[in-house]
Amino acid sequence: MIYILLSYIIGQFAYHHILSACFIGLILYISMLIKRQAFFKLMIASLIGVFGYYIESCAPSLPLQQDDLSDISQKVMIHIETLPVFNGDFYHATASIHDRTYHLTFKNYKHTQKQLNAKFLGHYDCIVNAKIKPTEQATSLPSLFVTELDQSKCVYPHQVTFKDRIMMVRNDAIERLVQSNLPGYPFIIALVTGSTDYIPYVQKQLLKDLGISHLFAVSGTHVAIMTGMLYMIGKRCPIPLYFTQICILVILPLFLIFSGNSPSAQRAVAMAFLTILLARFIQQHALLTLLLSYVILSTYQPTIHAHVGFQFSYAICFLLIMLRDSYIHQPFLRATFITSFIAILGTVSISYSYFNEFQWLGLLSNLFFIPLYGIAIIPLSFLVTLIALLIPSLLSLFKLPFYLLFNIHQFLTFCLKPLIRWKLIFPSYGELGYAFCILFIFTTSYLLAKKKWKMLCICVSIFICVTQLCHPQAENRMTLIDVGQGDAILFETTTGQTLLIDTGGERDNKHMMNKASITDRKLYPYFKERGIRRIDYLIITHPHADHMGEISHLSQRVAISNIVINPNHFDSMNFQLVRQVMQEERATLWDFHQLQHLKLGAFSFQFLNADVKQSEDPNEHSIVTLVNINQTKLLLMGDATVNNEEQLMHTYLLPKIDILKVGHHGSKTSSSAAFLEVIKPNHALVSVGKHNMYHLPSPIIIDRFQTYHIPVFSTAELHHIVVSFDKHVIHSYTISHMMRAMN
């Protein structure tokens, strides 16, 4: 039975990773031959694998890109399921329309005389004018965008379902925990309800960097603790075992809905159900239970295995079951270390595919946080949530215990935080990289099972060296990185050198602690995919937030060797920011007047002086860069205006340009007809945010480019725009674009 189920899963896996699936299938067949399985069973396993592949190929999928937001508002009636949470710019909640769930985003409230508490939300629907955006991922929700939520229109009685009642209890518990102001209440809410909305983004990112974010996503750990607590209570009471098991079978589905119905929690609850119901038939077969739960869940929800949490949960659980002999009779600390190592090992291929990074720090942090949370904080959080619902007046009794526990949490994070800087990045090698990860997992698991510690250390060392020293697809290329309404242009050379023009950024916001930075959302993921750990030269064209706002965040993620600025009209606050980064990075600060030419690999950079000396506009002090590679010429205008263009035409003998990075995001203050007549670009690139408040690029500028028959490529439509240069052919380049990640 196990071989049949494994064959089915391998068949599904082959649809996405054929090379890795062939390797795993070969291992499975060798195992069957060693155990002298009949030829008939081998044939059945093969057919089941083909069937699994066919089922996966028939699974519903989304188009490659669905990021168009309807500009037409629709009047719809919604039911708000979760309490709206403010993240600094918008309120976020989950809402439903005719039993379909959406992610609701709105700017503010209107008519706030009614309090949107748990009871009110559960019993009333609201009429809103919403713009609907389809989902970009099979595992994410479509979005509803509402300018304001008019509470005077939330007066329509809602037909309360059983699920709604559970959600009302959940919202009520969250309300009371927030009002209690218990130390660490955002973490308590996350541990019990699965909602991390109350944890500031900076804290969530820290948990992720430490490798302990899994503790705050309701999963097998939480379900196991709850099941253990229920068994312990049942054991202390004079009731039969089967009655306790019935109670568990009733409570676990309720807890699943209460905790947000996450895929990892579904896996744990499904396994608990199967273990209890089939205990007489499949005793001591945890692997069979795991495989059955996968087949059941993936059949019921064909897209669930595209969820990264679902993949993490099953991969880790599979290895923990297969390698249980390596830790089951070991002392506590050794067992904790080995299980942490196995858990990290199980995430290697998934982390490579989704994040291009390995959470090695979890190996150390889990030694401290798993006992702290597993023994104390999670059980106490369950108890406090129950008390919040039944006797909220007693919550004050728990302030001291949680104060002590979360002080320990803060102390541990303080001690481990310096290690975050040392990241293990695995650049993207495509399917070969994924297959290499699978080979590493298999080899390491085998050595761990055989307790060949020296060979295990050698294997891990080789893997780390290969992933850190090898660089994928070293080529001459320029990428206009999609940073929304801003600029960030990356140059890579075949010699491994890098130059970045601007960092992108947003206006200062006092609520930025609750938001992911552009570096974390856009720049750093792309740098990891490309294997970039250092920026050799960072050019800041001018001191505007959308061009240099991410310099601090960027310096926390990658090393910076040189910074080039135009000190003219560089305000003191931004100059101090640059100096601070320079000192922290021990970088060299250059005045672009002193560095007019720069050679990196095949690229030649010339920084043109287009300053409008009497101007008070920082845009008119932008550094303009002329790039030459194999007789292909690029002109990057920053936010230069028509005045700068006149200065350039007056000062320099400008060549014919192949690729123009349009000035000021396509504003009508740049790209004059006279300038285009002189440089005659073949292609134009625009870095701009989709649906930006400035309505850029200007239709006037787009029409002007069309008049001159110049194709325009925009990051708002195409995401990252990549220009690859052929190192063997003169004056040859290819413009392509990268679709938004669908992981």
Q: So where are the chain's domains?
A: 2-57, 74-160, 477-738
Which tokens in the block code for residue 270? Answer: 């499904």
Q: What is the mean pLDDT of residues 142-167?
A: 88
pLDDT band at residue 192 using 50, 70 and 90 as cut-offs? very high
pLDDT in tens, 329-341: 889 889 989 999 9
Q: Which helix (H) or strand (E) holds 85?
A: strand 85-86
Question: What string of DSSP letters covers 247-307?
Answer: HHHHHHHHHHHHTT--HHHHHHHHHHHHHHHTTTTSTT-HHHHHHHHHHHHHHHSTTGGGS
Cβ(676)–Cβ(706) below 8 Å: no
pLDDT of residue 150: 84
Helix, strand, or coil (residue 537): strand
Cα separation, 48 vs 3, whole angstroms: 10
Question: Over 70: is that where the pLDDT of 138 sits?
Answer: no
Neighbouring C-alpha atoms within 13 Å toward the C-beta of 608: 25
At 113 the pLDDT is 59
What is the Cβ-side half-sphere exposure of residue 520, based on CA atoms within 13 angstroms? Answer: 16
Most confident option among 148-157, 504-513, 627-636: 627-636
Residue 275 identity: T
Class of domain 74-160: mainly beta
pLDDT exceeds 90 at position 511: no
Q: Return the higher-pLDDT residue of 728 and 458.
A: 458
Distance CA 279, CA 273 (A): 10
Residue that has been written with the tokens 């479509």 in this structure: 142
DSSP line for 132-180: EE--SSTTS--EEEEEEEEGGG--EE----HHHHHHHHHHHHHHHHHHH
DSSP state of 697: S
Per the CB < 8 A criterion, the answer to whether 673 and 704 are in contact is yes
In angstroms, the CA 631 to CA 79 distance is 60
Query: Could you tell me where the beta strands, DSSP code E, fall in 467-557?
Result: 477-480, 489-492, 498-501, 534-539
With H, G, I as helix, E, B as strand and everything else as coil, classify residue 589.
strand
pLDDT, one tens digit per residue, over 81-107 is 999 988 777 889 999 998 888 999 988
Please check the confidence at residue 701 and state whether its pLDDT lies above 90: yes
d(CA 373, CA 243) in angstroms, rounded, equals 29
Interval 530-565: pLDDT, tens: 999 999 999 999 999 999 999 999 999 999 999 999
Run of H or E including 588? strand 588-591
Distance separating alpha carbons of residues 405 and 373, to the nearest angstrom: 9
The arrangement of strands across the sheet holding 733-738 comes to: 588-591, 559-565, 534-539, 498-501, 489-492, 477-480, 720-725, 733-738
> What's the mean per-residue pLDDT of the chain?
89
Residue 616 tokens read as 């008070």
| Strand 603-608 with 597-600, pairing | antiparallel
Q: Is a pLDDT exceeding 60 seen at residue 180?
A: yes
Helix axes 431-449, 332-346, angle to 10 degrees: 160
Cα separations in angstroms, 359 against 222, 268, 350, 374: 21, 23, 11, 20
- Each residue's pLDDT tens digit, 708-728: 999 999 999 999 999 999 888
The whole-model pTM stands at: 0.87
- pLDDT tens digits along 621-659: 999 999 999 999 999 999 999 999 999 999 999 999 999
pLDDT given at position 417 = 93
pLDDT digits (tens, 9 = 90+) for 276-323: 888 777 655 888 999 999 999 999 888 888 888 899 999 999 999 999
Tracing tokens 């062939």 back to the chain, one arrives at 22
Let me know the angle formed at the C-alpha of 732 by 727 and 738, rounded to the nearest 5 degrees.
90
- Do 405 and 373 contact (CB within 8 A), yes or no? no
Instruction: Yes or no: say if 56 and 11 are a contact pair by the CB < 8 Å rule.
Output: yes
Q: How far apart are CA 97 and CA 130, in angstroms?
A: 12
Q: What percent of the chain has pLDDT over 90?
A: 59
pLDDT at 733: 93
Q: Is 737 exposed, middle or buried (0-12, 13-18, 19+ CB in 10 A)?
A: middle
Q: Is the pLDDT of residue 604 over 90?
A: yes
b/e burial code for range 562-595 (CB count within 10 A of at least 16 → b) = bbbbbebbbeeebeebbeebbeebebeebebeee
Three-state SS at 647 = helix
111 confidence band (pLDDT: 50, 70, 90): low
**Two tokens at 641?**
């205006």
pLDDT at residue number 65: 44
The H-or-E segment that residue 586 falls in is: none
Beta-strand ranges (E) seen in 687-726 are 712-714, 720-725
Helix axes 399-416, 362-371, angle to 10 degrees: 170
d(CA 435, CA 17) in angstroms, rounded, equals 8
Say if CB 108 and CB 88 are below 8 A apart. Answer: no
| 693 band by pLDDT with thresholds 50, 70 and 90 | confident
The class of domain 477-738 in CATH terms is: alpha beta
Residue 63 pLDDT level (bands cut at 50, 70, 90): very low
Beta-bridge partners for 126: 78
ω into 302 cis (within 30 of 0): no
Strand partners, 480: 489, 721
Total residue length of the chain? 743
Average pLDDT over residues 688-717: 91
pLDDT band (50, 70, 90) for residue 135: confident
* 74-160 and 477-738, same CATH topology: no
Strands 91-97 and 100-110: antiparallel
Q: How sure is the predictor about 493, in pLDDT bands with cuts at 50, 70 and 90?
A: very high
